Each structure stands twice: as structure tokens, then as C-alpha cells.
Structure 1
Amino acid sequence: MTPTLVPHHPARDWAEIQERMLVPLYEAVYDHLGVGAGTRLFGLGCGSGLALLMAAARGARVAGADRDHARVALARERLPEGVTVTEEPPEDLPYDVITAFHATDGMLPGLRSLTRSAQPGAAVVLAGWGPSERCATEPVLRVAARLADHAPAPGPDLDALVAGAGLRPVGSGRVACPFGYAGEASAVRGLLSTGAFEEAVRATDLSQVEKEIEEALAPYVRPDGTVWMPNVFRYVVARVA
């Protein structure tokens, strides 16, 4: 199979292709918490701002932070004037809801610090991949681990993060978030934009990673050329003590 040589613009590809795949997750969490007028919401790891934009459309006052400079720049372009998006969270977090839709096990130290600065009773939402057997994208992500020569990383242990941060769990849910793409080229660009393949690209090269992603996508290419991968994501809601 000939690799798809596509422009590699991860932040813009995330904003234009991949970020919308998680809209069902954002909506489910906002419905669960009743996010609306009067809600003060902070997005930790807010990416290019789609989840914040959706909360703002419900009437919430929003702000966010993300360490990816390019994604922050895109978030500032698309969000309403006056919404603050920074590369580091502020020291004080006077918010009713704090979301981390892309939780990782490595975020525990930052989560502990966030918990200390959040107001008592604030809701903290952590989300990540659901069970691997219910995530069609999981075999594709194994390509990244193999090319980077390390064991596949499991999804984040959301319950352990909640406990380690000293939060009080109050609810959870699972949400179907299928990844659908117009074609293989779009799928490759979207998946590369997640950041999951960065080590693989450094260990080999971009064209090799693209080729192997395309091969792993083959079972999910439909007769019309579109790509469809059913996935389930899980979220946990906790409260600051």
C-alpha cells in the first residue's frame, strides 16, 4: 500500500478533523451536570476549544488551559471575545465545573495541585478511553506503541486518579464516540493529530507511520471509502472536598 503523503499540521488537523469526534462525550457530561447559564466552567487540556465553545453556547462562563501552544492559538481564534485560554492553569480556580476530557495517568501531580486550588464542592470530570474491547481504534493505536518500541499504554485509570487526587467520586458514565472520516487520508491526519503517534514518528519517520496507520485502518474502511470505528469513552464525576 502506498502511504498517504499529507501535510502534517497536528493542531489544525485536531481542530478540523478529530476534535468533533468527542462531541457526544462533551454533551453527555454537560447534560449530566446541568451545565448552563450561571455555570462557571474551566477546561483543563481544552485543546482548540470546541468543548469550551459548546459550554459557552449553553450560557456557561468558560476558560481553559492547554500546554500545546498551537491549539491554544486556535482556541483563542474560535472562542468569544473575553474568554481566557492559557498554556498553564491559573493558581486559583473559582469554577463550579472543571473538565479534563483527555485524562492521563501522568496528570496526577497536576490534578492534586488543581484540587488544592479549586473551590470546595466543585465538580471535577475526568474522561478517557473505555474498555479496549469496545474501542475499534485500539488496534490502530497499538501501531504507535509497536513503532515506538514500547508496550501498549492502557487507558487511564480514572478511579485511581480520583482517589489519588483526594476527590470524592459521585458518578460516572459511558458514551459512544464513533470515529468517522470521509476517507483514509482524513483518518490518518485525524489520528496523527491526537499526539499518540509522536514517539513513533521520532523513532521511524512520518511516511512509515502513515503507511502502517493506513494498513491498520483497512478493516474499518467501508465500501464507499469512508472510515468508521465505533468507540466507547468513560467519564467519572467527582467533587472537591
Structure 2
Amino acid sequence: MHDESNQTIESPPSQWWLAKNGEAEGPLSHQEISDALKSNRIRSADYAYSSDEKEWKPLSACSEFESGTEESALRSPPAPPVESYPIEPLFTNPRLPAMANWICIYSLQISPWLWCLYTVSEMISGGLLAENASLAGVEVLTMFVNTLVSLAVTISLFIGGARLRTLSRSGPNIFIISIVFATAVHLLLFLCTIAIISMTDQNSFVSKTVAVELIEYFIFIVALCEGAFLLTSLFWLRRNARFLPLS
């Protein structure tokens, strides 16, 4: 009994994780990290997380390994710091949640291509009225205003997405204002189009081919999906923007 009471309880050895391409690799022992350093499989500048110190820092800043508790040794580390990424992502930010990154991807990459798609399809399909129709000029003016508004909104969304990616607090505000403005203007233009159609004779409409009708149907489906994403992004930003790591 006396010998058992004098025995010391050894703490479990500390465990380590290495940051590799933004993900935690481990757990690893002190010996495994030492062997990897000696064989040049890892560098002293690589980031590591210790179950003792509870923080990510370069291996060169880790002078020694201390023993930790079993609970801390088994706990997985948090996400590695942004500095551990070998290449910074072009359209996203690792500090943002998934939905915010999807907003950045849409604003910086998808939205400009969609504007080009809408413009080209509008040039191919043309207007609803014949050239000799009395309201043809009004329809052309409506289409021209729609193109300019869409271009301005696309540029504004691009700026908002770029600022959101750089964690600027103005990014969500620009994105929200752009969506509200685009919705209001396009709703007004839609009502104008309905008014033009209602005041035009049936003989003044242009007959379109099956190919053009298929293109218009495809554009309608794409615009419907884009509108659903924009409305979802609008409500998400209004609810969660204050929780994002913005400055």
C-alpha cells in the first residue's frame, strides 16, 4: 500500500497537429514531428497546434513540449490560421462562413458572366413588337434602360463582393442596397412591359422561332434561379452580417 501511494501518475504525452493547406493533420507525437523536421518533410516555418498551449504558431516558436491532460490531448484543434494557407483563395475568404463565400463567388465570378448571357440573349431574341408598331420605340427604350440598370447592379455587386471578401463592413451594405435597387427597378420595368403589351394589337407582335423561344425559356429559368439566390442572400445578410468578422 505504501509503495502504491508513492507512485506518480504520468500525464499522457502532448499531441500536435500540423497545418497543411488549411487543414489540421494529426495528432502527431513529439518524435514524429522531430523526425519530419530532420528529414525535411516539414519546415520550421510550418504552423503547428499543441494540445498544451492551445494555439497555432510556427514550429520555430515552439521551444519545448510540455505534458498536458488526457482531455486536452484528445480534443481536436480549431481551424488553422489563414496564414497557413500556401495560396490565398481568389474569390473566397477562409474566415467567412460558407454562405458568405458563396455570395463572394457569385458577385466576383458568376454575376458578370450572367450579365453577358442576358445581354447576348436579348440581342438574339429581340423585342416583342414589330418595328412598325406604335409602341416599338417605348419597348426599345425599356430594354435599353434594363440593360444599363443590370450593368450598374452587376458592377455594384462586384464591388460589394470584393469588399466582403476583404472583410470590409461596407461589403454587405453595398450588396443589400444593390439587390433592393435592382428589385425595385426591374419590377417597375416589368410593369411597363405589361402595360405596353396590353396596349398593343395582336398583329403588332413578332413571331419567333422555336430556337428563340427555347433560348428565352432557358434565360427565364436562369433568371429565376438567380433571383432566388439573391433574395436568400439578402435575408441571410440582414440576419447574419453583424456576426461576420468584419472591420
TM-score by length of 2: 0.25
Which structure has the larger Rg over C-alpha atoms?
A: 2
The structure whose residues are more often helix, as a share, is 2
The structure whose residues are more often strand, as a share, is 1
TM-score by length of 1: 0.26
